[in-house]
Amino acid sequence: MRAGLTPEVSIVIPFLNAERFMREALDSVVAQEHGRWEVLLVNDGSSDGSEEIAREFVKDNPGRTRYLEHPNGAPRGISASRNLAVRHARGRYIAPLDADDVWLPGKLREQTQILEAHGEAGMCVGASEYWHSWSPAAATRDIVRGAGPSWRGEVPPPVLLWACLEGRSPSPPPSDILVRRDVVDGVGGFEEVFGGTYQLYEDQAFLAKVFISTRVFVEGKVWDKYRLHPWSCSAAILSARGEDTARRFYLRWLRSYLLLKRVRDRSVWRAVRFALLRYEHPVVYAVHPRRWMRLAWAAMRTG
């Protein structure tokens, strides 16, 4: 980016003890074919060599990078870190990048072109490569996950929300998306109540707010590699069997948010009611499968 030019894309990278993979993530930023970017690196309380890597990157890329941290260097969680970066962002677009993921070189160029051509779309999403093969010892093959052909193009709200809730379309990882800054501001940013175990669903809470507020352009192209590894926040929560706790919290938050925003779409409400059944009727779910199926049928029929 030439001196004096305002960045078009603000890249938001929160990190917590990401020393293993952070340089690779930053290298994928520098390799972008789109040059008008800035990077906001947010230290969320790291105790390894992540801070040194971040400060070195800022030194090597003066004028287009910033190093940020919370007061007293305290950890505040991923959502609070993303929000801190957004508050300092200057670009018209926000591009989250997790510090253990990697972008392909055409990511920013192609996604900005799509949003420029589709002015009513507030976000662009693609398909993600679920990346196991970064490790030579990986026993699982890489797979590509993205919305099917029936969801391609501009998708109106709130279609993607109920599609994700019902498992008809995967929820895109943060590193896959590009979103307009005014959309981020309009939905109130990322939800900071999703801390600790609940961080497993912090990205889905943000996406839910976007999916009910704006059209989303869905493309089938892969723009990112979503690294699967045992040191990630998600892996730690899953190994501690915290997935049910996090999902129950997310679904109850979502129900309250939909009521607050007066969302009346029947498909969304059916999907939320159905998803909540196992948590709000756990005994019936575990012991009385026939009764649970009757409850499920009633929930799916309720508009």
Residue 284 main-chain phi, psi, to 5 deg? -65, -40
For the chain, the domains span 9-240, 248-301
On whether the CB atoms of residues 101 and 175 are closer than 8 A, the answer is yes
Those residues with Cβ within 8 angstroms of residue 150's Cβ, 6 or more apart along the chain or in another chain = none
Query: Which tokens in the block code for residue 182?
Result: 């005014």
- In sequence order, the β-bridge partners of residue 215 are 121
**Whole-number pLDDT of residue 235:** 67
**Whole-number pLDDT of residue 147:** 87
CATH homologous superfamily of domain 9-240?
Answer: Spore Coat Polysaccharide Biosynthesis Protein SpsA; Chain A (3.90.550.10)
The total number of residues written for the chain in this structure? 303
10-residue mean pLDDT profile of the chain (303 residues): values are 78 97 98 96 97 98 96 94 98 97 98 98 97 90 90 95 93 97 98 94 97 97 94 70 90 97 94 86 58 56 56
Residue with tokens 């002015």: 119
**Whole-number pLDDT of residue 175:** 98
**Whole-number pLDDT of residue 301:** 58
Q: pTM for the whole thing?
A: 0.92
**Whole-number pLDDT of residue 206:** 98
User: Which has the closest alpha carbon to 276: 264, 258, 262, 261?
Assistant: 258
